[in-house]
C-alpha cells in the first residue's frame, strides 16, 4: 500500500471540521468572538530530540505535548494543530500506525483535533513539526514579561525526570539501581500541567514553559520582566525516584543543579502575587497538579540560585544535549 | 558568532507585533471581528524540493511563496507566518544572511510578518516548514468543493515553466538553445497570483492551488465538487519560451501534456459561472494577472483532457520529482 495514501487515510480520521477533511489547500477557522489566538510551533528531529530509529506512539505524544506546553503556559486552551511529517523511505507502515495511535491518545488527552499539515519525503532523519492554535479570553494571555517585585515563583509538577531519562538512554545510569523506565517515559512523553491552564491565566503575572532547563528558563522570564528571580535550589520539586538518585550522588548539590538545568521538563514556571498564591494552590489541588513555591521575584536582573544555607551558587550553563 | 544567536537576531527584525519579539513561548493574535482565519502548512526539504546545497534568498522566497499560494487560492489575505528551520552544522552565516534577506523580500512582496517558529539542529538535509495565517471575510473562503455544472474553468499565469526549470537543473535541456535561466527562476521562486486574491473570493465558486500538476489538481477539484472538468489542452497558457520548447519537440502534444502535469506552478485553477467571467477578467487585467479560460465544468466525474481536434487524451500520471 502506498505510504502517503496510508497516512492520508489515518490522518483524515483525526481531523477536525476546520481541516476540511484534510482535502483542501488550507484550513478554515472561525475564531470565536471575545477570544485571542495563542499560537506556537515546535519541531522534533530524529537523532536530536528523540533517539535514532524510534518512531512510535510515544514520539507522537511528545510532539503534541511539547506544543501543548507552550500553549497552556500562556493560559490558553488548545484547539487544533497542523503537522508536518518529513519521513525517510525506511519507515514501516506499522510504525506509522503506532504513530497515528499516539496522536489519537494525545488528541483525546488535550481535547484537540488535526487541522492540516504536509507530508513529505526526506533523505535524512524523520523531522516532525507542529503548529498549535489555542484561544484565551481577550487580553488574558500570560506573557514572560509581567513579573512584579514581591511575586512568589512557583513551578508545576516535578523537575529533572526527563534529564535522568535522557541519561538512562545515553547509558549513564545503572538501570538495575533506579526505576529508570519511569524517567525514560517522562523524557519520551512529557506531562504538561494541562489541567491548570485556566489557573495560570487567572492568577499568574508571568509564565514560561520549562524546556531549556528550569534555571535557564527562569532567567529568561526574569530578563523579559526586568526583575531578578531568587530561587531556592533545595525547594525545586523532585519525584521520589529523582530524590533517591540525588541522595546517592557524592556531590548532592551538583546533582540538584544538574536536574534544575537539564531541561525538557515541559512544566510551567510562574510568578504570582503573594495574595493570589493560596487561590492558585487551591485550584492546583482541585486540578490534581503539584505546585511548589521555589523562590521570589526581587529587584535586580537575572537569576540568583541559593543552596541549603542560603548561599549563592554558581549556576552552570545548561548543556546542549543530543544522541 | 553563535549561529542560533545570529538567526535570532536576524529573525527578530522580521517579526510582527503578534510575535512578541520572538521572545515568548507563543504568539498572540487578536483575530479581527467579521473575518475567518485561513491557515496552511507547507514544508520544503533539501534534496527533495530544492537542490542539495542550495540555501539562499531564493529558497526563502520559495518557502514563503508556496504557502502564499495556498492562502490566496482560498481568497484570503495573508497576515503572518511561523517558520521551522532545521539546519545542518555545515550552513554558513553568509548563507543564513542571504536566506533572511529572501524572507525580507517575500515579506514585503506579500505584506506579511514573522510571528514565531523554531530553530533546531539536524543531522540530515535542511528542512524548512512554514505555517501561514490569513483572513477572509466571514464565510467567503473559496473551497475546492463549490464547482457548478456550466462553470468556466480558468487558470492564472503560465503553466509549465517550473517543470522546465527542474528539467534544466537535472541537465535534460540544452541551456544554449533556450532561456533556461527564466525557467529555473520560476522553479526556485514561484510567482503566485497574489494581486487577484480578492477576485477569487468575489467571483469563483471553487479554487485549487496548482502544485501537483495542472491536470492532477483540476481532477482533485472535480472530485471534491462531484463534477467533471473538461479541459482543452492547447488552451493551457504557456510563456513564449515554453511555447518555443513545445514547438521544437517531436511529440508536441506529449510536450504540452508534460507541462500540464509537471507541477510546482503555484498558480490557481478556478471555476467561475459564465456570467461572472467578464468581471473576473476585468479584475485580472486591473491586477495585471494573466487569466485564461481552459475548459468547462460538465456532469460526470473526474477529468477529461482534449487535444487540438477535440479528441479525448489519455492523461499520464504526474511523476514524483526529486534530485
What tens digit of pLDDT does each residue of A174-194 get?
A: 999 999 999 999 999 999 999
Q: Which of A20, A34, A38, A41 to mutate to test the interface with B (most CBs of B within 10 A)?
A: A41
Which of B80, B133, B75, B141 shows the shortest CA–CA distance to B106? B80
Q: Which of B131, B204, B208, B264 to mutate to test the interface with A (most CBs of A within 10 A)?
A: B131
- Residue A318: is its pLDDT beyond 70? no
Smallest CA–CA separation between A178 and chain B, in Å?
31
Contact B74 A24 (CB under 8 A): yes
pLDDT in tens, B230-244: 999 999 999 999 999
Q: Return the higher-pLDDT residue of B91 and B149.
A: B149
DSSP A88-140: -TT--HHHHHHHHHHHHHHHHHHT-EEEEEEEEE-SSS-EEEEEEEEEEETT-
B6, three cell numbers: 545570529
Smallest CA–CA separation between A264 and chain B, in Å?
14
Contact B118 A42 (CB under 8 A): yes
For residue A125, the chain B residues in CB contact (below 8 A) are 122-124
Please tell me which residue of chain A has the smallest CA distance to B206: A24
For residue A137, the chain B residues in CB contact (below 8 A) are none
- Residue A209: is its pLDDT beyond 90? yes
Q: Give the model's pLDDT for residue B6.
A: 77
| Residue A71 banded pLDDT, cuts 50, 70, 90 | very high
- Provide CB contacts within 8 A for B296, sequence distance 6+: B150, B151, B152, B153, B229, B230
Phi first, then psi, for residue A73 (nearest 5°) are -60, -25
The rounded mean pLDDT for chain A is 94
pTM of the complete model beyond 0.90: yes
Of A25, A31, A45, the CB nearest to B40: A25
List the domain boundaries for chain B.
Answer: 3-137, 144-306
pLDDT in tens, B1-59: 466 777 788 898 999 999 998 888 999 999 999 999 999 999 999 999 999 999 999 99
Specify the DSSP element, H or E, that contains A152.
Answer: strand A152-156
Q: Give the model's pLDDT for residue B323.
A: 53
- Residue A298: is its pLDDT beyond 70? yes
pLDDT in tens, A129-162: 999 999 999 999 999 999 999 999 999 999 999 9
* Mean per-residue pLDDT, A21-43: 94
Specify the DSSP element, H or E, that contains A263.
Answer: none
CA A122 to chain centre: 27
Q: CB contacts < 8 Å between A and B, how many?
A: 196
| Residue B316 banded pLDDT, cuts 50, 70, 90 | confident
pLDDT in tens, A103-125: 999 999 999 999 999 999 999 99
Q: Which of B25, B87, B119, B197 to mutate to test the interface with A (most CBs of A within 10 A)?
A: B25
Q: Give the model's pLDDT for residue A27.
A: 97
**Contact (CB, 8 A) for A61 and A189:** yes
* Mean per-residue pLDDT, A28-57: 96
For residue A120, the chain B residues in CB contact (below 8 A) are 43-45, 48-49
Name the H helices within chain B.
3-12, 57-73, 93-110, 161-169, 180-188, 197-203, 214-225, 240-247, 252-262, 277-286
Handedness of CA B145, B146, B151, B156 (dihedral sign): negative
Q: Give the model's pLDDT for residue A5.
A: 79
- Same-fold call for B3-137 versus B144-306: no
Describe the crossing of helices B180-188 and B57-73 by its angle, rounded to 10 degrees. 70
- Residue B219: is its pLDDT beyond 80? yes
Based on the number of CB atoms within 10 Å of its own CB, is B44 exposed (0-12), middle (13-18) or buried (19 or more)? Answer: buried
| CATH classification for the domain delimited by A144-306, as one of 2.40.50.100, 1.20.140.10, 3.90.650.10, 3.30.70.20 | 3.90.650.10
Q: Give the model's pLDDT for residue A23.
A: 87
A110, three cell numbers: 488535550
Specify the DSSP element, H or E, that contains B303.
Answer: strand B302-306
Which of B71, B108, B65 shows the shortest CA–CA distance to B198? B71
**Contact (CB, 8 A) for B113 and A102:** no
- Provide CB contacts within 8 A for A302, sequence distance 6+: A219, A222, A223, A228, A229
- Provide CB contacts within 8 A for A93, sequence distance 6+: A1, A3, A6
How far is the CA of B111 from the CAs of A252, A273, B61, B114, in angstroms? 55, 41, 13, 11
Q: Round to whole Å and give the CA distance between A98 and A6.
A: 12
A239, three cell numbers: 519525584
**Contact (CB, 8 A) for B147 and B113:** no
Superfamily of chain region B3-137: PurM-like, N-terminal domain (3.30.1330.10)
Which of B138, B269, B283, B141 shows the shortest CA–CA distance to B199? B283
Amino acid at each position: 500500500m502506498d505510504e502517503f495514501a496510508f497516512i492520508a487515510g489515518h490522518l483524515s480520521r483525526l481531523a477536525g471540521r476546520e481541516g476540511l477533511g484534510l482535502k483542501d489547500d488550507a484550513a478554515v477557522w472561525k475564531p470565536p468572538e471575545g477570544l485571542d489566538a495563542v499560537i506556537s510551533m515546535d519541531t522534533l528531529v530524529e537523532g536530536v530530540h528523540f533517539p535514532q530509529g524510534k518512531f512510535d506512539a510515544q514520539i507522537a505524544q511528545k510532539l503534541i505535548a511539547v506544543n501543548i506546553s507552550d500553549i497552556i503556559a500562556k493560559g490558553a486552551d488548545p484547539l487544533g494543530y497542523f503537522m508536518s511529517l518529513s519521513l525517510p523511505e525506511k519507515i514501516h507502515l506499522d510504525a506509522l500506525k503506532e504513530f497515528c495511535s499516539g496522536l489519537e491518545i494525545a488528541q483525546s488527552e488535550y481535547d484537540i483535533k488535526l487541522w492540516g499539515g504536509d507530508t513529505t519525503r526526506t533523505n535524512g532523519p524523520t523531522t516532525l513539526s507542529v503548529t498549535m492554535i489555542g484561544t484565551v479570553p481577550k487580553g488574558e494571555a500570560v506573557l514572560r514579561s509581567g513579573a512584579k517585585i514581591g511575586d512568589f515563583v512557583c513551578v508545576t509538577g516535578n523537575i529533572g525526570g526527563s534529564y535522568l531519562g535522557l541519561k538512562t538512554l545515553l547509558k549513564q545510569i545503572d538501570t538495575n539501581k533506579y526505576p529508570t523506565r519511569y524517567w525514560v517515559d517522562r523524557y519520551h512523553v512529557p506531562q504538561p500541567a494541562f489541567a491548570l491552564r485556566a489557573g495560570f491565566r487567572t492568577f499568574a503575572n508571568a509564565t514560561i514553559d520549562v524546556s531549556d532547563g528550569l534555571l535557564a528558563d527562569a532567567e529568561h522570564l526574569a530578563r523579559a520582566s526586568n526583575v531578578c528571580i531568587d530561587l531556592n535550589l533545595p525547594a525545586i520539586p523532585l519525584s521520589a525516584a529523582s530524590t533517591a538518585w540525588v541522595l546517592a550522588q557524592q556531590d548532592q548539590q551538583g546533582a540538584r543543579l544538574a536536574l534544575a538545568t537539564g531541561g525538557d521538563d515541559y512544566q510551567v514556571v510562574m510568578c504570582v502575587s503573594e495574595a493570589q498564591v493560596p487561590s492558585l494552590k487551591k485550584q492546583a489541588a482541585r486540578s490534581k497538579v503539584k505546585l511548589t513555591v521555589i523562590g521570589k521575584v526581587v529587584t535586580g536582573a537575572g537569576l540568583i540560585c541559593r543552596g541549603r544555607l542560603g548561599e549563592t551558587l554558581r549556576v552552570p550553563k545548561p548543556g546542549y544535549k543530543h544522541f
